[in-house]
Structure 1
Amino acid sequence: MATVKEPKLTKSTFPVEGMTCASCASSIESMLRAKEGVQDANVNFAGKTVQVAYEPDAITPVQLRETVQEIGFDILIEQKTQEELEERQATALSALRRKTIVAGVLALPVFILGMFFHDTFAWGNWAMLLLTAPVLLWAGQRFFVGAWAQAKHFRANMDTLVALSTGIAFLFSLFNTLYPQFFLSRGLMPHVYYEAVAVIIAFILLGKYLEENAKDRSSSAIKKLMGLQPKTVRVVRNEGELEIKIEEVQVGDRVLLLPGDRVPVDGEVVAGTTYVDESMLSGEPLPVQKQPGDMLFAGTINQKGSLQLIAQKTGGETMLAHIIRMVQEAQGSKAPVQKLVDKIAGIFVPVVLVIAVLTLVAWLVFGGEAYLSEALLSTISVLVIACPCALGLATPTAIMVGVGRGAENGILIKDAESLERAHKVEAVILDKTGTITRGKPSVTDVVWADQQVPQEQLEQLFFSMEAQSEHPIAQAIYAYYKEQGQQARQPAYFSSLTGLGIEAEFGGVRYFSGNEKLLRQQHIQLPEHLLQAARQLQEDAKTVIFFADSTQALAVFAVSDPVKPEAAAGIKAMQEAGLEVYMLTGDNEQTAAAVARQVGVAHYQAELLPNDKAEFVKKLQAEGKMVAMVGDGINDAQALATADVSIAMGQGTDVAMDVAGITLMRSDLTQVANAVKLSRATVQTIRQNLFWAFFYNVICIPVAAGLLFPFTGFLLNPMIAGAAMALSSVSVVGNSLRLRAKRL
């Protein structure tokens, strides 16, 4: 039996240039999928990329690019750095902004002349022609180029309707400007419709600019994640200690780390002891002690000690690289409401074209040559009044007002997709550290025993001891007393007791600071009320530190990451809004249970790594739930990118805020419920806008085609059609502005 060899597949992701709507993305996908050798193609419209699975033996990237170029778009097959891609995007956005501004500036006088002074000045038509020509031929060039590229493949999109309506209106107006006698001899006024051309293009360009401006902010998150990996690494090889590029590190290399260095690769510690800040992974503020046999991960920060590790995973295999890939794949998806608009527009555009052709044919068949002028006027009226201006403004205007309303309330929304999606959210996942808690360890409780020495003196001695220690708990105690203006003394003797605490000598008296085990070893008496206080604090998941002299315990201190005062109220507001609330944390089970109990969260998961959080998001999504993730750290970036809606706390890391679609500037969890309410109001407004935009076309297009003419003799003038089109846009904008009065 002969075996069939499976074709070798390559998956590549290419940046895409020239996309203006979701129908563009559909065109690219369908054209690529139709090519022999391409198994699948998926366009990420928000991320401006296309992922293609193809057989390299059957088709090359150059051929893929040529296929896309045939329909008016382009893909970048050469490798580009993140900085180069950002520069290209910024250049394109700047060009679009320039065209939008110029079109708006020129359209205003054309609109005023056309609507109010068209019969006042003999030279008015020529003035409008000179002002409209650059709007059409320069600012609106993209619509004609896109329409022609689609037409060559018997396709139509929004560009087609814009190009036809403005193109025909401009040519008709140009004809009447150059040869007005044609209609005058037939008893009709040679109207011009330059104002419709200029205003249509200016409005559509504005909508495109708003859309592009919102989409072009996603790449900085990847840039910051990549910045967590150092450029060079110190390794020990046969020839001695070398400093090499990060790309040259091999599995098995012995890597040297000095205090303050970022860990370049995943590997096992083989020499040295230190504390490592792993907050980018676990989100926990307390650094973790590392010694031989422990694992280190790329992107974490070595704090105090020097150590050596053996590289086990390098380059694209590290946990940091995995997080970057997950963010890249999950970031940027098609907006639900806009998808609906594009689907309807896909039917709407060809239907309007058919109606326009039928209008022209019907007038010529039933009216003959005597009705040629009416046929032309009616056809132009259909195309002008059916221009998707209101349709194009329905979403962006509501988004603009919704985003502004959110900003006034401390809710910063980065993209329309997040604002649109949030109204469907059913489950909210909260990271613990920095989201529910403050994210910084601090002294929360102090209980003193009765003693003969003044408390102020003992506090100074305790502060002086902790000032000598590099332990993270000691630093929290040091910061606590430093804020009170405490001054440190130099001890006569100081020693760090591994795994127990520290000891020091002042004025011939030995003092200890550490855990209960240290005091037991030193046979130090523990007053019962201090011991009971310590037990209660430990039940609340707080770290307990005893302070004692050589004979008895003097005080007990509790250090923890305290819950934010408004956290419980914020979670209650979410639950009242009908949202299920979950808490995820990299902390231990006891701490997680205590925090969940304190803030009223019924569902929680502890001891999770970034990938575990992302998997939990996927689990809820698989149950059919729309999931929002709220976090503040790099460790949350993967889950934030995987969630349907990502929300970052304003006091979190730049990466979390860049990945997230919504940022809460006050780091107040009550704002999560407010963001959902704002989304619900905005989406309701968008739906109203879309309804009236389509309802307007359903009513006006038949009238523009001349449906009433046989019965009433009424024929819609294209000038009135242009005014009606503008009025529809004003009504949509006016409805969107109602969001300003919405209470959150």
Structure 2
Amino acid sequence: EYTFFDEPVMLLSFILLGRALEARARAQAGADLTSLAALLPADARLLPGFEEGAEGGSLADAIPLPLASVRPADVLLVLPGDKVPVDGVIVSETPTTLDEALMTGEALPVLKSHGARVTAGTVNVGAPIAVRCEATGEDTALASIARMVEDAQARQAPVQQLADRVAGPFAYTVMGLSAATAAFWLTAGPALFPAAVAGGGGAALAVKLAIDVLVVACPCALGLATPTAVLVGTSLGARRGLLIRGGDALERLARADTVIFDKTGTLTVGRPAVFGLAAAAPTSEARMLALAAAVEEGSQHPVARAICTLSAQRAGAASGKAASEEALLASAHRSQAGDGAYAEVEGRGVAVGTLEWVLQEAGGETSQAAQLEAAAERSAATAGAGTSATRVFVGVQGEGVVGCLALRDAPRDDAASAVAALQRMGLQPHIFSGDRQQAALQVGGEVGIDAANVRGDLKPADKAALLRELQVAGCVVVMVGDGVNDAPALAAADVGMALADGVDAAGEAADVVLLGGRVAQVGEAVALGRATMAKIHQNLLWAVAYNVVGIPLAAGALLPYAGVALNPSVAGAAMAFSSIAVVLNSVLLRGKDLAAEVGAPKVEEALPRSAA
């Protein structure tokens, strides 16, 4: 005879144990997001009366206080080994290095000096620094990232919608199968398989098997298959500096076959540098460069900053009297947008800019300018700038054109390896640029993108139109950009990616933000999408296979032939295990090495090459 007194206890025990283990596994799945919230220290060190530009301060000068008491404009001391407690700006003079790995995925510490912005949660691994607070608590970039990851985890992938549609009918189907099981073993079962009920109690057997079917069936595994994988995937992305806004973005990333790059600021560093220069005798290169820097001093134009930076580097490399002689002062500054700048240096007019501007303001011969341009081109070619460098001329009244500088926005250090990794993954890279076609082709050749896939001279609307043509042709397109001009294309793409430097309009339009600002993260994001979808498919396959095998077994399919049948407590344990298996399989995604998956080398911070 069948006795059921122990079954309810065992059934509830297995189900509760399964729920506890499932909850623990799901908590482990979200541990990366929890670790983000734990990055902020509980306390800070206030430096009252600190004067900007002084040394970093000492522990004796600091006043401990709770982080919640810190207000914007407070100056805090951050010692080596401390976590930066707030978003702010370094106001001390001593440079330091910060470990930003948990925020950006960058493996090496990053050099920071006076005026540099720092982010809460990063670790000071250099010298003591003083930081002026700009945002605390929920207003920090770290808290914003955590909120965005939580929002992303709430967004369903399309495959989840299919699982949700199946789960409802599945429950009614299981109840119908349970009723059919009871009816079969009450009626036809004993007649067809008398040995199966020889132990007695045909009605008791029918009730037991019907309960087994209800208990063993697991719609939970179907329901958990997608959200647990998305939870782990988005959390892993945050740990690797990939802010992914939802499971739908992960699913589209997994299907991507085409990647479009903006050029300036995405494949290139976004800042021109001087690669070559030439001066006309008797003017030395140092003298010509000092004249140009004196005219451009104070300008925020990227070309002006590149000239001043190189001049400062060369002056710093010089010593004693030679360095002081090149420190020139200028007056009567004026400039013309698109042409250049003019100033008086040591009583003589000096013009810097296009050849037409310099000839107009300082006079001179075009033949001499052509010779200087050719010499600067050779210098730039030696430094690897190619033929797409921008030419800037320097002229002095009474002397004519005295120098030429070749500047170029160089590719990022990791651009070529990132493009090669994408090609190994089966993706087709393109360049859509607003810059000149020749400049776009030069960069495309250096990073390994086929010339047929490089388009220059494009307006923002043109980029979006060409992108839609690729989509019409059947491509699943990822667009990578960094600026406002990329926003229309980012919004039109199947997946829009914005580098961290461009999280204004570009970031708002993007599905993925690359917090590390590294081109190699594009491949990591695609690899993460593929790995996440692989886990989802594994989970769904397991959930379907479990129910296809488990329900007939619970209904007594093997009872007539092998004398094997489940009881409710075993069915409950199997049901709990099926859910736990899905969650644990998703948790395995946390150990995925995305860089190794892409085959990308470790990225090291490096100064851009220049003529310095």
**Match 2:345 to one of 500, 506, 511:** 506
Q: Is the 8 A contact 1:427 1:580 kept in 2?
A: yes
Query: 1:548 and 2:395 equivalent?
Result: yes
1:581 shift after superposition: 1.1
Identify the residue that residue 355 of structure 1 maps to in structure 2: 177
Q: How does 1:418-433 map to 2 (within 5 A)?
A: 418-433=249-264
Q: Work out the CA distance in 2 between the residues paired with 1:497 and 1:661.
A: 40
Q: Work out the CA distance in 2 between the residues paired with 1:576 and 1:696.
A: 36
1:371–1:455 distance in 2 versus 1, CA, 3 Å: same
Deviation sequence 1:340-361 (CA, Å, 0-9, x none): 4345446534432321221233
Q: How does 1:338-487 map to 2 (within 5 A)?
A: 338-342=160-164, 344-345=166-167, 348-365=170-187, 370-407=201-238, 409-440=240-271, 442-452=272-282, 455-467=285-297, 469=299, 473-481=303-311
Identify the residue that residue 688 of structure 1 maps to in structure 2: 538
1:188–1:194 distance in 2 versus 1, CA, 3 Å: closer
- Residue type matched to 1:462 in 2? A
Q: Work out the CA distance in 2 between the residues paired with 1:623 and 1:208.
A: 43
Deviation sequence 1:85-144 (CA, Å, 0-9, x none): xxxxxxxxxxxxxxxxxxxxxxxxxxxxxxxxxxxxxxxxxxxxxxxxxxxxxxxxxxxx
Q: Work out the CA distance in 1 between the residues paired with 2:14 and 2:392.
A: 76
1:653 shift after superposition: 1.5
**Match 1:629 to one of 479, 490, 503:** 479
Counterpart of 1:191 in 2: which secondary structure? Answer: helix
- Residue type matched to 2:515 in 1? M
Q: Work out the CA distance in 1 between the residues paired with 2:296 and 2:356.
A: 18
1:428–1:515 distance in 2 versus 1, CA, 3 Å: same
1:468–1:707 distance in 2 versus 1, CA, 3 Å: closer
Q: Work out the CA distance in 2 between the residues paired with 1:499 and 1:694.
A: 65
Q: Work out the CA distance in 2 between the residues paired with 1:501 and 1:690.
A: 63
Identify the residue that residue 510 of structure 2 maps to in structure 1: 660
Residue identity over aligned pairs, in percent, reads: 36
**Match 1:337 to one of 159, 164, 170:** 159
- Residue type matched to 2:181 in 1? T
Counterpart of 1:557 in 2: which secondary structure? Answer: strand
1:481 shift after superposition: 3.8
Identify the residue that residue 259 of structure 1 maps to in structure 2: none
- Residue type matched to 2:390 in 1? T
Q: Is the 8 A contact 1:647 1:664 kept in 2?
A: yes
Where structure 2 has 5 or more consecutive residues not aligned to the other structure, the ranges are 34-153, 191-199, 317-325, 598-612
Relative contact order, higher structure (CA 8 A, sep 6+): 2
Q: Work out the CA distance in 1 between the residues paired with 2:389 and 2:546.
A: 64
- Residue type matched to 1:357 in 2? A
Q: Work out the CA distance in 1 between the residues paired with 2:429 and 2:246.
A: 24
How many residues are aligned here?
442
**Match 2:12 to one of 194, 215, 223:** 194
1:546 shift after superposition: 0.9
1:619 shift after superposition: 1.6
1:698 shift after superposition: 0.9
1:575 shift after superposition: 1.7
Where structure 1 has 5 or more consecutive residues not aligned to the other structure, the ranges are 1-182, 215-331
Q: How well do the aligned residues superpose, as a CA RMSD in angstroms?
A: 3.8
Deviation sequence 1:593-620 (CA, Å, 0-9, x none): 3322332322122333433333322221
Q: Is the 8 A contact 1:204 1:389 kept in 2?
A: no
1:416 shift after superposition: 2.1
Identify the residue that residue 428 of structure 2 maps to in structure 1: 580
Query: 1:596 and 2:414 equivalent?
Result: no
Q: Is the 8 A contact 1:385 1:704 kept in 2?
A: yes
Q: Work out the CA distance in 2 between the residues paired with 1:727 and 1:209.
A: 17
Q: Is the 8 A contact 1:406 1:675 kept in 2?
A: yes
- Residue type matched to 2:466 in 1? F
Q: Work out the CA distance in 1 between the residues paired with 2:434 and 2:570.
A: 64
Q: Work out the CA distance in 2 between the residues paired with 1:548 and 1:611.
A: 39
1:667 shift after superposition: 2.8
Counterpart of 2:273 in 1: which secondary structure? Answer: strand
Deviation sequence 1:477-522 (CA, Å, 0-9, x none): 3454456678965435444356643333233333221221134344
Larger displacement relative to structure 2 (654-663 or 501-510): 654-663
1:625 shift after superposition: 1.5
- Residue type matched to 2:517 in 1? S
Q: Is the 8 A contact 2:258 2:475 kept in 1?
A: yes
**Match 1:530 to one of 372, 375, 378:** 372
Q: Work out the CA distance in 1 between the residues paired with 2:17 and 2:493.
A: 39
Deviation sequence 1:28-52 (CA, Å, 0-9, x none): xxxxxxxxxxxxxxxxxxxxxxxxx
TM-score by length of structure 1 reads 0.52
Counterpart of 2:394 in 1: which secondary structure? Answer: strand
